[in-house]
């Protein structure tokens, strides 16, 4: 009995296609996306907390002074002849000086300091200092009041305020106040003259009264 031969096909058989994996549903995709966004937000928050420096706590009690602008240190004039020193700050400027004396241009007037060997009373020093002012510019000088607690540095002295008419080289005459303080310590006498335009509302009529007093307080005697 003859056997039937298998049919011969010139083409290879096509393999059976496997079924594609099921696709994510729209709802499941959105859920996964929301989870990824949430995890990203948490990570960003954690990194921000770690990398951001902590803010200093606000002080509520027993706090120190608030930081401010540093106070400029005063400049100083030093008398080579008598060893005393005069401190000053802006806007005061030195306009004339030598080994015994110094003249400052202040915001409104002038401030003069000069030394000499001891030997005269404080009252004599006051009158002598007043006499050094040029009478062509300072006229009708009359006593106005005495200065209580007059001092030069930590040394007590004598002080008086005088009224005057000041005649500048150019311009009209103005009313002025002249404060003169003198003191002696050891072998050195110091006379101080402060000149300002008269202002009725100012202490003793001197608008720079507090600045003059500050310069006297910062004065340093030799030694």
120-158 pLDDT, tens digit per residue, is 999 999 999 999 999 999 999 999 999 999 999 999 999
Q: Output phi, psi for 108, to 5 deg.
A: -125, -20
pTM comes to 0.68
Residue 111 lies in a domain: yes
Residue 56 lies in a domain: no
Q: Which residue has the tokens 């009725």?
A: 200
User: What are residue 160's DSSP bridge partners?
Assistant: 146, 180
Cα 194 to Cα 212: distance, rounded to the nearest angstrom: 7
Q: Which two tokens stand for residue 186?
A: 């050891």
3-state SS track over 128-170: HHHHCCCCCCEEEEEEEEECCCCEECCEECEEEEEEEEECCCC
What kind and span of H or E run contains 146? Answer: strand 138-146
**CATH code at 96?**
3.40.1000.10
DSSP category for residue 62? S
Residue 167 lies in a domain: yes
Residue 196 lies in a domain: yes
pLDDT of residue 101: 98
pLDDT of residue 62: 59
Contact 176, 164 (CB under 8 A): yes
Residue 197 lies in a domain: yes
What kind and span of H or E run contains 179? Answer: strand 174-185
Per-residue pLDDT tens for 155-171?
999 999 999 999 988 78
Could you give the number of structural domains in the chain? 1
Low-confidence ranges of the chain (pLDDT < 50): 1-2, 7-9, 11
Residue 125 lies in a domain: yes
pLDDT of residue 171: 80
Q: Output phi, psi for 13, to 5 deg.
A: -70, 140
Cα 108 to Cα 31: distance, rounded to the nearest angstrom: 81
Cα 29 to Cα 98: distance, rounded to the nearest angstrom: 93
DSSP category for residue 95? E
State which residues form the domain around 109: 75-218
């Amino acid at each position: 009995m003859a056997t039937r031969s298998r049919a011969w096909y010139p083409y290879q058989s096509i393999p059976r296609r496997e079924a594609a994996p099921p696709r994510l549903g729209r709802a499941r995709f959105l859920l996964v996306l929301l989870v990824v966004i949430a995890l990203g937000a948490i990570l960003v928050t954690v990194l921000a907390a770690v990398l951001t420096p902590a803010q200093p706590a606000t002080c509520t009690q027993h706090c120190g002074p608030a930081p401010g602008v540093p106070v400029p240190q005063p400049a100083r004039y030093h008398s080579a002849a008598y060893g005393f020193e005069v401190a000053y700050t802006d806007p005061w400027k030195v306009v004339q000086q030598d080994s015994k004396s110094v003249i400052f241009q202040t915001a409104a007037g002038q401030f003069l300091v000069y030394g000499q060997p001891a030997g005269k009373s404080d009252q004599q020093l006051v009158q002598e200092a007043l006499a050094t002012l040029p009478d062509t510019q300072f006229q009708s000088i009359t006593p106005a009041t005495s200065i209580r607690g007059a001092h030069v540095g930590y040394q007590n002295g004598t002080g008086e305020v005088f009224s005057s008419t000041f005649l500048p080289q150019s311009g009209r005459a103005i009313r002025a106040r002249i404060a003169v303080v003198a003191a002696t310590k050891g072998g050195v006498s110091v006379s101080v003259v402060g000149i300002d335009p008269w202002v009725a509302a100012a202490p003793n009529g001197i608008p720079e009264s507090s600045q003059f007093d500050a310069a006297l307080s910062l004065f340093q005697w030799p030694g």
